Amino acid sequence: MDVLRPQLVWIGRRCYRKTALRDNSNYNPEDEDFYNADEVSDMTYCDEICDAGLDIEETTRGFRLKVPVANAYYKYIIGKKAETKRRLENETKTQIHVPKPGDKEEVIGMIY
């Protein structure tokens, strides 16, 4: 198999590149079991609580979630001329409040 032209594996409607394993003499590609899209998955329901660790408060304006984020990452959330922040707010229909420079609290608040 050529490194620049890896084997493609289709699983459902997704395409994956299969990379070659190096220095593994026990590897046999015929031993791999691939997902059969025709089989019905028994993982259709999972009772795991996704928001168990989140502190969501109800306010007069909606719901508020405070997420601790280091101030070094604020620039990635805000983006150039606040374009990223506006896009995130539009896509998620929320208001994102990023602390001002110099604030001691490193928590981003979201109201939805």
pLDDT tens digits, 29-69: 666 666 555 555 555 555 566 666 677 888 888 888 888 88
Q: Which domains does the chain have, with CATH numbers?
A: 56-111 (3.30.1370.10)
Comparing CA positions, the residue from 106, 70, 108 lying closest to residue 92 is 108
> What is the structure's pLDDT at 51?
61
Q: Is the pLDDT score of 14 beyond 70?
A: yes
Q: Is the pLDDT score of 28 beyond 80?
A: no
> What is the structure's pLDDT at 24?
59
Cβ proximity of 68 and 81 under 8 Å = no
Q: Is the pLDDT score of 85 beyond 70?
A: yes
- In 1-112, DSSP assigns E strands to 7-11, 14-18, 56-59, 62-68, 95-97, 107-111
Mark 87-110 as b/e (b = at least 16 C-beta within 10 Å).
Answer: eebeeeebebebeeeeeeeeebbb
